[in-house]
Chain A
Amino acid sequence: MLKIKKAEVEGFRGFTQKKSIDFNNPVILLHGGNHQGKSSVLNAIEWCLYGDKCIGERSGIRERVGKGDMAWRVVNDNSEKAQVKLVMEGEQEEFSVVRTEVKGKGKKGKSIKIYSQDGTEKKADEADQEIARLLRVSFKDFATTVYQHQETIHDFVMQKPSEQSDVMDRLLGLSDYRNILDGIKKSDVLKFQKELTEEFDKFQISVQRTIYIRQKDLDDKRRKAKEKGLSEEELNENKLLELAKSTIKSISNFARLLGLKTTMISPPSDWENTESFINEIKKECSRLWAESPEMKEQSEKQKKRSEMVLFKTQYETQYLNLKSKRKKLRDFERENGNKDEIDNKLKKVVEEIETIDEEIKRISPKAKLIEEGISILESAAPSNAEICPLCGEKVSNLLEHLRKEWEEKIKAKVQELKKRQTELYKKKTDFESLNREHVSLDEDTQREKERLKEAINNIAEFLHKELGVRDDPAAILSIEIKSIDSRLKEIEDAIKSKQSKIDAILEKTNIMNLLYDVLLLKGKLEEINQIQKTDEYQTQEKIRTDVSNLVRDVKKLSKIIKSCMLKEAEEKIDSARSAIDYYFRRITNNPAFQTLNIKVEEDKRTGGNFYVFEDQDGKRPVPVLSQGDLNSLAMSIFLGLAKTSGDSHPLGFILMDDSSQSLDSQQKTRLVEILNELSDIKNITVSTMDTEMQQLLKDNITKVKTIYSLSDWAPDSGPKISKET
């Protein structure tokens, strides 16, 4: 069995300066307060033997899981490199293992060397292989049967009962299984599979919508086709092509009926050319129809009729206009007389004005004279002037007389004449106005007369015949229109008889259109069927099958792992059952326990291991166990496994870190008794801060022992280590 002789630790975790510790006695006790480097010594041994295997998630040790600032750092913060040297001896050989890690160099800064007794040196991969050969113990087994970590006891004591199975798995070295199962759970392939199918399902839903729309259109077209007399069996390309040929024949017959020649039209080569074929047919129908004699005559007659109606309307309008103007002129003459009468009245007024003008002229010199006389008399004439210059009579007060004469005879006369003159001028203006109005009305009447004449001339020219004053153009036109209407009726009847032929042709094209739509929509639905033949569809099918196979394989793998985990747990517990039972009853000395039985079952919820602890009556004590009892249970499992591995185990030492936590004095005493017994077959290194435990070990271990005291730890120098034997 391999044992440790000596360890040199430098720059590793709590250590800065190089320290040397001898392990060549059956029992080594490391004691000191918290954070003095006790655990670092045990960790250094583990790291030297297993390197990175004891770090990170795969170590199964919780405090060593973490990244960045939370990482479990090998190199001391004040050192550039960590180096641990272990001198180990077997029954026939001695060798040294030196593991080094330089800070900040990554993998390049990590190295391992093994020096044999004969002076040979192995390094790197060769050294790794050599150490595996020498140790013959995996890290997993080392952590369960050699090195009792502080946290496994702590976790077992502190965890909820439901989480104790996890700790039990770690105590039994089943963390790898658990890690793989956790990885499988995290990968959640089932969720991925579900998401994949859901994603394709979304596509299927959108395809379903498309189908619904196309199917609805197709059903609608089908229904219409059936209404046109087609059966379900006839909704095919053959029927469509048959209809096309029949349509060409009908067009030919129709042309013959019209006495026209048809354009050469070929039937469509397949249903997809239906649209252009139908366009050709419709175009040909329109051409034949437009060129048919009836249609031509109908068009001509309709045009002529329209023109006649227009001429008739123009004539009638013009006739009414003239009639209206004439009436206005008549009404004017009735009221004001005709042009001669108005002229005569005007002439008389002019003559009377001239007479009055003469009279006024005649009176005017006399009046002037009297005015001057009065003026003279008023200014200079003597008051005794008595002879009137106007009438020649002798009058007294001549001036007064003249004034009276003026007022009564001349002034009144002149005023009367001027009043009459004004009246006549007004009359003259009125007559002149009437005269102008008469001229205007007369001109209007003449203009309308000219227009009517022009309308009549247009009609005569259109009808190619002379129209005399005795002819009524409107009546002539009415007769002509009636005659055209009669002819148009005849043409219409003739057209109607042929319309049914062309309607039948057009109906065939409508049916062809429906058949085309049916075939088109069927084709579109068929396109969806073709999706399954595409590479993309086949690829997704393959992916889904591959994923399903993966899910199946992962399930199987998970089942196998769970089964292995259960089997390994059962085997380990079976082999160590009696030792565990013995140690547990021995440490606890609990009279209630005559037997401690551990069973392992499959956890129905998680599929992992579920551990059941039962007493001799089959009762489950774990929920009522004290923390000391739980510690004892964990310790018993470790010691039981360590002892059971016994002689066959290649490593002849065990490392125990803070194993007395939560134990009472009696339990500690009994634990020390067990360690004393175990030290017969294994070297035991115990690290403890518990002074009572330290004293018990000092006093009750009967084997040679070395005691190291670790104290006064400082960042730059590490712990002080003092040795007592």
Chain B
Amino acid sequence: MKVETLGLLQKLQKKFGVKGTTSGPFGKIVQKLLALSFHEMGFTNIVERGVQGVDIDITSESNQKFAVEVKTTEKLSITISPDNVQALRDRTHDGYQPVIAVLRLVPLENWILAKAPIGEIPTGKILIDSLRPNRMKDLESKLCPKFDFVVRKHFNGVLNRGEQYLKKHLREVGIMAQDH
């Protein structure tokens, strides 16, 4: 993630984040920006869920399906809840491969996209580095520049109108955004 992107996200976090937590609108904003980045990468059938279930479903051009659990943090670890695991497990029934996407909001970090085979996903607090063995590096290297682009493109819109702006934009590009 470019320094400029980090700076823009930190500005959004300042406005929409809840200090000390990953909850609040900011987390959902990052999730939506990630969904748009997947769209830019050429993924189709994108479903972005604001509330229940896995955060994002995507399908690649080669018809690979991924269910993505999104985590945004400044810390060295993330928390995976049993609900997160259950949601990922549920999607596997429809042929989706579980993926955990983590973005640390600090310099010199990029999105980590890690395969999370059901049965191997630990719950509770886990070190982000423990996801490294399962990283999908090809996907990550394609995602990062798209994410930089998407953040830069939509920064002003999000800053002024918040999550609503992104919801509207997701709909416009054909991403299904489910809030309930």
Q: Which of B99-137 contact A (CB under 8 A)?
A: 106-110, 127-133, 135
The segment from B3-11, B43-51, B57-65 that touches chain A is B3-11
**Partner-binding segment picked from A21-29, A37-45, A203-211, A392-400:** A203-211
Additional A-B contacts beyond A194-B76, A525-B4, A529-B2 (15; CB < 8 A): A193-B130, A194-B127, A196-B129, A201-B76, A211-B3, A211-B7, A215-B7, A526-B3, A528-B107, A529-B3, A531-B108, A532-B108, A537-B108, A545-B135, A549-B133
Interface residue A664 (Cβ < 8 Å from any Cβ of B)? no
Query: For B109, what are the chain A residues with a Cβ–Cβ distance below 8 Å?
Result: 204
Find chain B residues with CB under 8 A from A549 CB.
132-133
CA distance A547 to B129 in the complex (A): 9
- Report Cα–Cα, A201/B127, bound state, in Å: 13
Chain B interfacial residues counted at CB < 8 A = 19
Within 8 A of B (CB), among A201-247: 201, 203-205, 207-208, 211, 215
B135 contact set on A, CB distance < 8 A? 545
Residues of A near B108 (CB, < 8 A) are 203-204, 207, 528, 531-532, 537
CA distance A215 to B130 in the complex (A): 32
As a 0/1 sequence over residues 501 to 527 of chain A, the CB contacts with chain B under 8 angstroms (1 = contact) are 000000000000000000000000110
B109 to A: closest C-beta gap in Å? 7
- Tell yes or no: A197 within 8 A of B by CB: yes
Asked if A198 is at the interface (CB within 8 A of a chain B CB), the reply is yes
B128 CB contacts on chain A under 8 angstroms: 197
Q: Mark B1-42, 1 if CB is under 8 A from A, else 0.
A: 011101100000000000000000000000000000000000
Alpha-carbon distance A193/B110, docked complex (angstroms):
19
Question: Can you spell out 19 A-B residue pairs with CB atoms less than 8 angstroms apart?
Answer: A193-B130, A196-B129, A201-B106, A204-B106, A205-B106, A207-B107, A207-B108, A208-B106, A211-B3, A211-B7, A215-B3, A525-B3, A529-B2, A532-B110, A537-B108, A544-B129, A548-B129, A549-B133, A552-B133
Question: Is A551 an interface residue, CB under 8 A from the partner?
Answer: yes
Chain A 179-210 near chain B by CB (<8 Å), digits 1 or 0: 00000000000100110111001011101100
Contact with A along B124-168 (1 / 0, CB 8 A): 000111111101000000000000000000000000000000000
Partner of B107, one of A196, A197, A211, A526: A211
Residue in chain B with minimal CB distance to A215: B7
In the assembled complex, the Cα of A544 lies from the Cα of B132 at a distance in Å of 8
Best-surrounded residue of B109, B110, B133, B135 (most CB of chain A within 10 A) = B133
Q: Is A198 touching B76 in the complex (CB atoms < 8 A)?
A: yes
Contacting residues, chain A, for B2 (C-beta < 8 A):
529
Kindly identify, within residues 542 to 585 of chain A, every residue whose CB is under 8 Å from any CB belonging to chain B.
544-545, 547-549, 551-552
Report how far A197 CA is from B77 CA in the complex, Å.
10
A722 to B76 Cα, complex, angstroms: 72
**Distance in angstroms between the alpha carbons of A672 and B76 in the assembled complex:** 63
Distance, CA A711 to CA B26, complexed state (A)? 84
Question: Which residue of chain A has its CB nearest to the CB of B76?
Answer: A197
Give the shortest distance, in Å, between A198 (CB) and chain B (any CB). Answer: 7
Question: In the complex, A531 Cα to B107 Cα: how many Å?
Answer: 10
Tell me the minimal C-beta distance from A550 to chain B in angstroms: 9
List B residues at the A interface (Cβ < 8 Å): 2-4, 6-7, 76, 106-110, 127-133, 135
**Are A551 and B130 in touch, CB under 8 angstroms?**
yes
Interface centre among B128, B130, B135 (most CB of A within 10 A): B130
Inter-chain residue pair count (beta carbon < 8 A): 58
Question: Hey, which chain A residues are within 8 Å of B110, CB to CB?
Answer: 532
Instruction: List chain B residues, Cβ under 8 A from A551.
Output: 130
**Can you name the residue of chain B whose Cβ is closest to the Cβ of A204?**
B106
Task: Please report A residues at the B interface, Cβ cutoff 8 Å.
Answer: 190, 193-194, 196-198, 201, 203-205, 207-208, 211, 215, 525-526, 528-529, 531-532, 537, 544-545, 547-549, 551-552
Given A211-B7, A529-B3, A549-B133, residue A204 in contact with residue B127 (CB < 8 A): no
Q: Quick check: A193 and B129 within 8 Å, CB to CB?
A: yes
Give the complex CA separation of A304 and B129 in angstroms: 82
Look across to chain A and name the residue whose beta carbon is closest to the beta carbon of B135. A545
Q: How far is the CB of B103 from chain A (nearest CB, A)?
A: 14
Inside 8 A of A548's CB, which chain B residues have their CB? Answer: 129-133
Task: A532 to B132: give the CA distance in the assembly, Å.
Answer: 17
Of B2, B109, B132, most buried by chain A (CB within 10 Å of CB) is B132
**A528 near B3 (CB under 8 angstroms)?**
yes
A198→B76 CA distance, assembly (Å): 8
CB distance from A89 to the nearest CB of B (A): 55
CB pair B132 A211 closer than 8 Å? no
A548 to B135, CA, bound (A): 11
Give the docked Cα–Cα distance between A203 and B108 (Å). Answer: 10
Q: Closest chain A residue to B131 by CB distance?
A: A548
Task: Known contacts A528-B107, A548-B132, A552-B133; decide if A193 and B127 are in contact (CB<8 Å).
Answer: yes
CA distance A475 to B135 in the complex (A): 97
User: Do residues B130 and A552 form an inter-chain contact, with CB atoms below 8 A?
Assistant: yes
Which residue of chain B has its CB nearest to the CB of A553? B133
When C-beta atoms are compared, the residue in chain B nearest to A537 turns out to be B108
Measured in the bound complex, the distance between the Cα atoms of B150 and A548 in whole Å is: 31
A522 to B: closest C-beta gap in Å: 8
A204 → B minimal CB distance (Å) = 5
A198→B77 CA distance, assembly (Å) = 11
CB of A211 within 8 A of CB of B76, answer no
Top 5 closest pairs, chain A to chain B, by CB: A548-B132, A207-B107, A204-B106, A552-B133, A525-B3
Q: Please indicate the chain B residues that have their CB under 8 angstroms from the CB of A193 in the complex.
A: 127, 129-130
In the bound complex, CA of A592 to CA of B120 (Å): 45
Which A residues touch B132, using CB under 8 A? 544-545, 548-549
A236 to B135, CA, bound (A): 37
A531 to B6, CA, bound (A): 15
When chains A and B are docked, how far (Å) is the Cα of A211 from the Cα of B135? 28
How far is B3's CA from A547's CA once the two chains are assembled, in angstroms? 27
Complexed CA–CA distance, A205 and B7 (Å): 14
Q: Is the CB of A197 within 8 A of B127?
A: yes
| Residues of chain A lying within 8 A (CB to CB) of residue B7 | 211, 215
B90 to chain A, nearest CB (A): 25
B3: A residues at CB distance < 8 A: 211, 215, 525-526, 528-529
Considering only CB atoms, which chain B residue lies closest to A201 in the complex? B76
- Please name the residue on chain B nearest to A541 by beta carbon: B132
Interchain CA distance A196-B76 in the complex, whole Å: 11
B5, closest chain A residue (CB): A529
CA distance A50 to B76 in the complex (A): 50
Nearest-neighbour CB distance to chain B for A395, whole angstroms, equals: 141
Contacts of A204 in B (CB 8 A): 106-109
Contacts of A532 in B (CB 8 A): 108, 110
| Complex-state Cα separation, A662 to B135, whole angstroms | 59
List chain B residues, Cβ under 8 A from A205: 106
Which of chain B's residues have a CB closer than 8 A to the CB of A208? 106-107
Residues of A within 8 A of B4 (CB): 525
Residues of B contacting A198 in the complex (Cβ-Cβ under 8 angstroms): 76
| Shortest CB distance B15–A (Å) | 15
The complex places the Cα of A29 from the Cα of B127 at a distance, in Å, of 60
Cα distance, A201 to B74, chains bound together (Å) = 10
Q: Nearest Cβ distance between residue A270 and chain B, in whole angstroms?
A: 21
Of B76, B108, B127, B130, chain A has the most CB atoms within 10 Å of the CB of B108
